[in-house]
Amino acid sequence: MRNLIFILLLTLTLSCQNSKNEKANRNQNNSNDLIVESFHKKMDSLYNTGMFNGYSTTIVDTTGILYNKGFGYADLEHNKKYTEHTIINIASVSKVFIGVALLKAQELNYLNLNDPINKHLPFEVINPNFPEEVITVKHLATHTSAIVDTDQYMETCYVNLDNIPIEEGSKKKYELYYQNPSDDWKPLDAYLKKILVNNEEFYDASTFAKRKPGTKYEYSNIGAALCALVIESAVKKPFDKFTDQYIFKPLAMNATSWNFEEVDRSEYSKLYADDNLLPYYRILSYPDGGLITSSTDLGYFLQELIKGYSGKGNILEDDSYQELFKPQLEQKAFSEKKNKGFNVGFFLELEADYNEIGHTGGDPGVNSFMYFNTETKTGRILITNTDSQKENSGEVFYGIWNTLVEYKTH
């Protein structure tokens, strides 16, 4: 009898406890629903400001994609929606792939980070101000090579693919950025040789700063492209094919390519300066900003970076990932404009003050951000198809970006 009473009391206690747990779970679910609902309202409100024609937002962690949504239009004229599968060139976020490819090439014993670049290049690159100083692969990967961007570079690297005029509203800003359409699609090595070798067509001595390599940080697109050529020359395979083999295919990035001919053009977003249509373009120094991808595919890549940071990566060994994310420079290498928590990995920006690692990008008609938080192990992506000159456009862009933090925090 006592056993029966005990069992009845235990059952009653457990029943009450389960009821409390269920109520707590319902309250927690209701709270989460309210948070998610508030997030969606904020995102819709930010889109409705009309600052950007179309964009995509993505949140990931080590388990996969947590949130992935497109807003607005990929094509205003045809009312085509911008979705998570829309593809677009992602500007300088592309450089992160150079860093990963570089560490993979070192793993495969094709090169070493401390190698002189002229050990691998098909032509010799010499700083005329310091002709005896060696430029290393690591100098290129940390933007300390003393090879800098010039107007000559900016005015020759974009090729107009559409043969459409740049509309009057955008002409002042963009007309210098586009070469005329041409069948002369220069290979990476041919273009860089014209820029970097004395007496070649686009050579400008001011491409080489008057300081020794390895002494100062100065962000360099042309230096990043040259690093990709070093990889290409060392592995004896075109850079686009190397990254496809060791990055895109292993991560199932099936909508991603460096080449227009290899992507579904029907999924490609139009590019805009406010409401003015911009031509499609090809970047002759393509590794520094020409990767074409979707927010979904880029989410797979960001997930892999977070896994690599956590010691669980798949496409690089742990030692390589540690090298990729390690602060590479001393503070004296940076100008006073950089905060003290800023440093660089290999084509990655390390923001210690904010516990963030990633990269930003900007090209005609494109703005892109990709970062992950080193404490929460979650990452976010924002890609827009609009260069907006409207008042408060920057405030709205960062409003979207910061709202993504709210979602992943909860």
pLDDT score at 249: 98
Is position 217 within any domain?
A: yes
DSSP symbols for 288-318 = GT--EEEHHHHHHHHHHHHHHHTT--SSS-H
Is position 6 within any domain?
A: no
pLDDT in tens, 258-293: 998 899 989 999 999 998 888 888 899 999 999 999
Is position 17 within any domain?
A: no
* Structural domain that includes position 330: 51-409
Cα 352 to Cα 295, 341, 358, distances in angstroms: 25, 5, 11
61 sits in which H/E element: strand 54-61
Cα 224 to Cα 4, 142, 220, distances in angstroms: 77, 9, 6
pLDDT score at 110: 99
pLDDT score at 6: 46
pTM above 0.85, yes or no: yes
Is position 316 within any domain?
A: yes
Q: Which residues of 215-231 are buried (b: 16+ CB within 10 A; e: fewer)?
A: ebbbebbbbbbbbbbbb
pLDDT score at 181: 52
Is position 24 within any domain?
A: no
Cα 129 to Cα 17, 120, 210, 226, distances in angstroms: 78, 22, 6, 19
pLDDT in tens, 48-64: 999 999 999 999 999 99
- Binned at pLDDT 50, 70 and 90, residue 169 comes out as very low
The CATH number for 85's domain is 3.40.710.10
Check whether 379 has a pLDDT greater than 50.
yes
C-alpha 296/C-alpha 141 separation (Å) is 27
C-alpha 233/C-alpha 236 separation (Å) is 5
Is position 8 within any domain?
A: no
Q: Which residues contact 221 (CB under 8 A, 6 or more apart)?
A: 92, 149, 153, 157, 285, 288, 289
- Binned at pLDDT 50, 70 and 90, residue 29 comes out as very low
First-to-final CA distance of the chain: 50
Per-residue tokens: 380: 């976010």
Q: Which residues contact 218 (CB under 8 A, 6 or more apart)?
A: 143, 144, 146, 148, 209
Is position 165 within any domain?
A: yes
pLDDT score at 41: 87
pLDDT in tens, 100-112: 999 999 999 999 9
pLDDT score at 409: 54
Domain count, the chain: 1
β-bridge pairing 366-373 and 80-81: unpaired
pLDDT score at 217: 96
226 sits in which H/E element: helix 221-235
Is position 249 within any domain?
A: yes
